[in-house]
Structure 1
Amino acid sequence: MHAVGLGDFTVRRANESDADTMAGIDAIASTGDAERRANIARWCRQGSATVAEDASGRLLGYCVVEYTFFEQGFVAMLMVTPSARGRGVGHGLLNAAAASCTTPKLFTSTNVSNQPMQRLLGRAGWTPVGLVQPRRGGPRAVLPLRATGRADTSVTGDVVGLGRVGSGQT
């Protein structure tokens, strides 16, 4: 992925030297969570993360795409600094994720209570295709899908543990 300018910011692939800065803007890692910091370092090493930065190089947010959800792309993390929210940074990161995804389908999940993320996903062209019902309490999560423009984009069948995801319609 080459750096792509999106108005007031640029989106590019993260590198290992970005890990500490990414941890600094991450709501969990910045509190000292060692597991999240290790995940961020791993995502940078593996090339799974993209970052958005302003013209001065200040990090505005990051996005991680993994291929662990039924071998399809999955946005595992989207983090935007509070001061950059509402400026298109999350939307730009999601678009970069879709453009670089190597599978026909790109999924993510968000808690039902996370209305700002659900609105962002809707504006970015994502469609809800399922609802995750946890087995032991915890919040329910919406499972949105974005077709990436590659091959088969239908969503069919049952997903074990998640219930019916779709009926062949995207």
Structure 2
Amino acid sequence: MYNVVKANMTDLDDIVHVDSEVIGNTSRRNFIKDSIERGHCIIVQEANHIVGFLTYDTNFFDCSFISLIMVSPSKRRKGYAGLLLEYMINHSPTTKVFSSTNCSNVTMQKVFETNGFIQSGKIENLDEGDPEIIFFKSTY
């Protein structure tokens, strides 16, 4: 059984644990804390354990921009990223939702495409030799 909800401060340590499983450290703890405090962090739970999360803001040309989608490595390929994206689309404070991933991250590109996002441009020079692809989906 899964549950997708907005995170609260009591979830912080568990969310940071998932993030550190993926990136190998807890350097984004303050960023995640700020996202929770603003109400811009969504979690997906399996059997009351957080297995993934999503953070976003609304500073991208007054549109929602998903900055992080993280799923515990042991829980990947089970649809949790899709559940987070679906919740975001259904509860977005704006009618347009954007996100991005590197050209080299083919897996994340497939997640976006599977969930109805379309490519909406490319940004060069963020990561040397690995352009960022922008994805878009309308909430209506």
Q: TM range, normalised to the smaller chain?
A: over 0.9
2: CA distance, partners of 1:9 / 1:65: 21
For residue 107 of structure 1, the aligned residue among 66, 76, 98 is 98
Query: Which residue of the partner structure matches residue 43 of structure 1?
Result: 35
> What is the identity, as a one-letter code, of the residue corresponding to 2:98?
F
Whichever structure has more helix as a proportion of its residues is 2
Query: Which residue of the partner structure matches residue 167 of structure 1?
Result: none
The alpha carbon displacement at 1:135 in A equals 6.7
SS in 1 for 2:30: helix
Which runs of 5 or more residues in structure 1 are unaligned?
Answer: 1-7, 150-170
Query: Which residue of the partner structure matches residue 4 of structure 2?
Result: 11
Query: Which residue of the partner structure matches residue 159 of structure 1?
Result: none
Considering Cα pairs closer than 8 Å and 6+ residues apart, tell me whether 1 or 2 has the greater RCO: 2
Q: Residue 10 and residue 128 in structure 1: after superposition, are their counterparts in 2 closer, same or farther (change >3 A)?
A: same
Please give the TM-score of this superposition, normalised by the length of structure 1.
0.77
Query: Which residue of the partner structure matches residue 137 of structure 1?
Result: 128
The alpha carbon displacement at 1:32 in A equals 3.4
Please give the TM-score of this superposition, normalised by the length of structure 2.
0.93
1: CA distance, partners of 2:96 / 2:70: 21
2: CA distance, partners of 1:54 / 1:111: 28
- Does 97-106 or 134-143 show the bigger shift? 134-143
The alpha carbon displacement at 1:136 in A equals 7.8
* Pairs aligned (count): 138
Whichever structure has more strand as a proportion of its residues is 2
1: CA distance, partners of 2:64 / 2:54: 12
CA RMSD of aligned residues (A): 1.4
For residue 32 of structure 1, the aligned residue among 17, 26, 29 is 26
For residue 69 of structure 2, the aligned residue among 67, 78, 81 is 78
The alpha carbon displacement at 1:114 in A equals 0.4
Deviation string, structure 1 residues 64-122 (Cα, Å, up to 9, x no partner): 12101111000011000111111110000001111111212100010000001000001
Q: Residue 32 and residue 136 in structure 1: after superposition, are their counterparts in 2 closer, same or farther (change >3 A)?
A: closer
Q: Which runs of 4+ in 1 moved over 2 A?
A: 135-139
Aligned-residue identity in percent: 28
